[in-house]
Structure 1
Amino acid sequence: MILDRRHALAGMIAASLPWPARVEAMTATKPFAAVALQLAARSVERQPDRKGASAQMIAMIEEIGVKLRSSAIFIQQYGGTPVRLAVLPEYVLTSYPGRISIPDFAEKAALDIDGPEYDALGKVAQAQKLFIAGNAYERDPNFPGLYFQTSFVVAPNGEVVLRYRRLNSMFAPTPHDVWSKYLDIYGIDGVFPVARTEIGNLAAIASEEILYPEIARAHALRGAEIFVHSSSEIGSPLATPKQIARRARAFENIAYVVSANTGGIEATAMPLASADGNSSIIDYKGNMLAESNSGETFTAFADIDLNALRAQRRKPGMTNFLARQRLELFAPIYGGTAPHPADSLIEGGKIKVPDRDHFLRVQEQAIERLAKEGLI
């Protein structure tokens, strides 16, 4: 029974997922529109319990469905191209956990893999014939007391066809913190999943992970053509690190980036517009196709031309960065001792539920070791 459950969950997370993730390499694909829907995240902090938090999330999904439908209608009327992909911001249903303990937040606000929130999102995707990408905190029965920040894609048939767990986080558990057990259950396909769909090969990058080129490159080397990027970050008319990184990840991997930022965060002590603005769509040459200003808006939308992207990837030349990769050059460096250790939440073969300061202590130890070795 345990093995059956593990294999079932692994199948949900791995790249070899049910339709349409099993669709093989595509022939010519009609251009379609994608939208990075900039919405305010809504904190569940004031909800008394899980029942209240879930009810708030379900109600918000219904609101998102209304906003998606009206946005898609306008975009098609404006540009003539139907919307097939919508990306939602980071943790839009709950906001960030703050200082709530990890097990308490897991119990109150983290979604279940087969929970009602995913069912509600699936109904929106079915009704509107959309691929909906988003980001939420999620519980996994293999890791009780923990949660993972998960980026997902729901297909037009209502199924979750991509489930990617954030690999680099400052104050929250990641698969790398339980690495040996996570790999045993899900394998590398569950770490870097790519969904092969009728609108292209989709992969997810979560929030600040856009600053880590290895994550995007790993997905690209597994076939990703479109990066869905859910974020909650400071918007600015000046070039921010994430704005620069999005463009870099696009051109160095010859991939589209569809990046949705929050349009503020409601029901917290933080000023509403602290994480607001600059949702964007960037093409495979690093060109900004559309970028939002502040507030809730659908104005980051653009056409996606996969035929042009694929032609670029198959064309010899100096700008074909994927074909020119010489990975053997870097294997000895990456294969050395990692600055940040794996399995920091496994002790004596068992999962350890940490306090939030645990992650800061691990980073401090990594910095100390790098300094002793003269590397920083």
Structure 2
Amino acid sequence: MSLTVAALQMVSAPEPARNLASAAALLQQAADQGAMLAVLPEYFAVLGHRDTDKLALREPFGAGPMQDFLASTAQRLGLWIVGGTLPLVADSPAHVRNSTLVFAPDGRCVARYDKIHLFRFERGAERFDEGRTIEPGQTPVQFDVPDANGRPWRVGLSVCYDLRFPELYRAHAQAGAELLLVPSAFTHTTGQAHWDVLLRARAIENLAYVAAPAQGGLHDNGRRTWGHTQIIDPWGSVLGCQPEGEGVVLAALDAQHLREVRSQLPALDHRVL
């Protein structure tokens, strides 16, 4: 029993229409290659010149061109689609929610996760502070997706900077998660140093598959993202990687392999704290 997953790498631009066209082509490629679940990266629909650009593009939950695109594409391709992140209306008019939306093959939105941990980094001229424009979420979210034989896989949602907070992923594991998703836009600096080791650690410690679609390249706004979109198995082995540029990383997740690894090394059952 397997679930074929596609992690999509993009180099998003400030123009949503351009990004949605790129996403559509990658989703079509994933569907043509047999994917059942396709995951877009963080900021797939827009990566603006300024952090505040996303305020003008925010959508109310349930309506808007970015959400319509995800719903109609899922329905047209008969594909489960995880929409990386897109800006949704927040409680504060000066902020957005950086939200992951999950669409079923019939076009229904079946899950929403608002990024909990907000990135801040300063080194010389390189400075980021997502808290200036993003309102954090508070709640871990999981959803179920069936494989080719109808077996449900429990999937835990996270976004980018969340990767540094293992307690979120342990909460997913305690809720039965077998696949952890990490749509991201890691900076080149932090990605080069920490991306691979953090992804493999989250897979190993939770005995779960990890799919991490990323932004990967030099963007129109001058920002450079690390890329290295990956799918990793519960033993920490990398099943596929796209270093830079747009592309699709595809892997079949094996339920039998998952059971064997968890049986051979039952670390989740040995938790004390």
Q: Give the TM-score, by structure 1 length.
A: 0.62
Match of 1:136 among 55, 67, 85: 85
From 48, 55, 61, give the equivalent of 2:20. Answer: 61
Q: Which residue of 2 aligns with 1:323?
A: 269
**1:246 pairs with 2:199:** yes
- After TM superposition, the structure 1 stretch with the greater mean CA deviation from structure 2, 256-265 or 84-93, is 256-265
Question: Shift in Å at residue 140 of structure 1?
Answer: 3.8
Deviation at 1:195, TM superposition (A): 0.5
Q: Structure 2: state its 5+ residue gaps.
A: 121-129, 148-152
Offset of residue 105 of structure 1: 3.8
Asked if the contact 2:10/2:246 (under 8 Å) is kept, the reply is yes
Q: Which residue of 2 aligns with 1:70?
A: 29
Distance 1:234 1:175, change over 3 A: closer
Q: Secondary structure at the match of 2:99?
A: strand
Matched, 1:89 2:41: yes
Identity percentage over the alignment? Answer: 26
Question: Could you tell me whether the CA contact under 8 Å between 1:43 and 1:265 is conserved in 2?
Answer: no
SS in 2 for 1:323: helix
Contact 1:211 1:242 in 2 (8 A): no
Amino acid at match of 1:148: R
Residue 107 of structure 2 is matched in structure 1 by 158
Segments ≥4 residues shifted beyond 4 Å: 141-144
Query: Which residue is equivalent to 1:212?
Result: 165
Q: What is the rounded CA distance, in whole Å, between the counterparts of 1:245 and 1:277 in structure 2?
A: 14
TM-aligned CA deviation for residue 71 of structure 1: 4.0
TM superposition shift of 1:209: 1.3
- Which structure 1 residue ranges, 5 or more long, are not aligned? 1-29, 45-55, 76-81, 180-190, 328-376
Q: Which residue of 1 aligns with 2:8?
A: 37
Match of 2:253 in 1: 304
Please name the residue that 2:96 is paired with: 147
**Residues of 1 paired with 2:113 and 2:40: CA distance?**
15
Q: Alpha-carbon deviations, 1:238-275, whole Å to 9, x = none? A: 9631210100000111111111111335431x15xx11
Would you say the 8 A contact 2:228–2:244 is kept in 1?
yes
1:207 to partner: Cα distance: 0.6
Partners of 1:246 and 1:234 lie apart in 2 by 15
Tell me the alpha carbon deviations over residues 316-350 of structure 1, each in whole angstroms, 9 at most, x when there is no partner: x5x222111112xxxxxxxxxxxxxxxxxxxxxxx
- For the aligned residue pairs, the C-alpha RMSD in angstroms reads 2.4
Q: Quick one: distance in 2 between partners of 1:294 and 1:139?
A: 28
Whose Rg is larger?
A: 1
- 1:162–1:311: structure 2 CA closer, same or farther, 3 Å change rule? farther
The structure with more helix, counted as a fraction of residues = 1
C-alpha distance 239-285 of structure 1, shift in aligned 2 (>3 A): farther
